[in-house]
Chain A
Amino acid sequence: MGMPVLVHAPGAPAAAVDAVFAWLHEVDARFSPFRPPSEVCRIDRGELSPADAHPDVRAVLARCERLRAETGGYFDARAGGRLDPCGLVKGWAVDRAGALLAAAGARRFVIDAGGDLLLRGGPWRVGVRHPRRADRLAAALELRDAAVATSGAYERGDHVLDPVGGGPARGALSVTVIGRELGAADAYATAAFAMGARGPAWTARLPGCEAMTVLDGDRVLCTAGFARHRLPLRSSDCAPG
């Protein structure tokens, strides 16, 4: 999955945290598009029929297909030309990891997968990173029992592809989606980012989710319920952008 994963679970049994990381390694071995022996790579090479794959792989690929339909093709596990379900796998795996912690009795924890967060218990105060200024926040949120994912162009350059129009996604600087589960929130953020200027209107129709989109020109569009989660932001630096 290619990123450090942070688990902050005060009071959770160490064995439960170990189980989380064992699970994430298992997911990586099975789903990594960068490991030739992984089931995802074998399916991509035509060596493994999806029907014969591990039940988790079948479930994830089926959900990728549903997401592709839900997003009008803007979430596409084959956007780059080869099978790469990472856009769903990361959040899906973190949701499962959260279930492992909850089953072990943890009631209040954060799993941070490269800036996409699963939050249980709370309240947690969450900063939304400014899309162009790494040391500033564009918003601050108070969340409880939520997942929040941000898709942007700032991490690895233009890493989100526009599967519909082709080429790197344009028009949005970042999209932050709040939902209940990280799998959906992350996939929706990726899709809305790929939609560019049309993303905010799409996010406004997502059931159970709220979103904040920063568009080119520093316009910010938030869904109706997004403000419910907001905390005051100190303008320690009043210069725009």
Chain B
Amino acid sequence: MRRALAALVVTVVVVGLLVRYETRPPARRNPESALRTPAPIRSPAPKARPHPPGSVTGRGPLVTTPFSSIQVQATVLHGKLIDVKTLSLTGDDTHTRALNARAEPILREEALRAGSADIDVVTGATYTSESWRDSLAAAIEAARVD
């Protein structure tokens, strides 16, 4: 079942489904925490666009990562995924930091570090897509079980 769901999710993603995140100002629960765990923001109710009779809607869990929280709602009709909505997302607000201006050689070598910082967004991060897929898979399952 899990495998089938994963395949379905991949199919959905491949057909170019794009998620819209609400653009409300984010909230912070603990401004001092290193990797903050922000409080979920509930998006406004989705636009009223009734799903056809016989369709089933399920919600995935709120998936929280060090950088964001996300929840996906999926609607299934006759075994086919017909609608996906992103229900919530959190991020961080922005703080200003001084730039570290330094003269450097052409290529500077250093050791790889593994640390943390207060950030707004991640490059190379797949949290967004991973969380989205996880929540979508669960939402599809919920829609099928309901």
Interface centre among A21, A116, A129, A235 (most CB of B within 10 A): A129
Complex contacts, A119 vs chain B, CB 8 Å? 121
- Is B128 a contact of A142 with CB atoms below 8 Å? no
Distance A135 CA – B110 CA, assembled complex (angstroms): 21
- Is A219 a contact of B123 with CB atoms below 8 Å? no
Complex contacts, A3 vs chain B, CB 8 Å? 13, 129
- A interface residues (Cβ-Cβ under 8 A, vs B): 1-12, 17, 21, 24-25, 28-29, 32, 34-35, 110, 112, 114-117, 119, 122-131, 133-140, 142, 148-150, 152, 154-155, 174, 176, 200-201, 204, 214, 218-237, 239-241
Size bracket of the B interface: 35 or more
- Is B18 a contact of A5 with CB atoms below 8 Å? yes
Complex contacts, B125 vs chain A, CB 8 Å? 115, 127, 129, 134
- Is B19 a contact of A6 with CB atoms below 8 Å? yes
Inter-chain contact total with CB atoms closer than 8 Å: 218
- Is A8 a contact of B18 with CB atoms below 8 Å? no
Complex contacts, B115 vs chain A, CB 8 Å? 136-137, 140, 233-237
Distance A172 CA – B140 CA, assembled complex (angstroms): 37
- Is B104 a contact of A224 with CB atoms below 8 Å? yes
Closest 9 CB pairs of A and B: A150-B124, A28-B16, A140-B117, A218-B112, A233-B115, A129-B124, A4-B19, A136-B114, A127-B119
- Is A155 a contact of B18 with CB atoms below 8 Å? no
Q: Is the interface of B mostly helix, strand, loop or mixed?
A: loop
Tell me how far the C-beta of A200 lies from the nearest C-beta in chain B, rounded to whole angstroms.
Answer: 6
Interface centre among B24, B34, B92, B94 (most CB of A within 10 A): B94
Q: Which of A131, A218, A221 contacts B124 (CB 8 A)?
A: A131
- 14 more A-B residue pairs beyond the given contacts A6-B19, A35-B16, A220-B111, with a C-beta to C-beta distance below 8 A: A4-B129, A6-B89, A17-B20, A34-B16, A116-B123, A117-B123, A127-B67, A176-B123, A176-B124, A222-B108, A224-B105, A224-B108, A237-B115, A241-B112
Within 8 A of A (CB), among B5-28: 13-21, 23-25
* B146 on interface, CB distance cutoff 8 Å: no
- Is A228 a contact of B101 with CB atoms below 8 Å? yes
- Is B119 a contact of A140 with CB atoms below 8 Å? yes
Contact with A along B93-119 (1 / 0, CB 8 A): 011110111101111111111111111
Distance A157 CA – B87 CA, assembled complex (angstroms): 29
Q: Which of B18, B21, B99, B122 contacts A229 (CB 8 A)?
A: B99
Within 8 A of A (CB), among B36-80: 66-67
- Is A219 a contact of B112 with CB atoms below 8 Å? yes
- Is B20 a contact of A219 with CB atoms below 8 Å? no
Tell me how far the C-beta of A171 lies from the nearest C-beta in chain B, rounded to whole angstroms.
Answer: 15
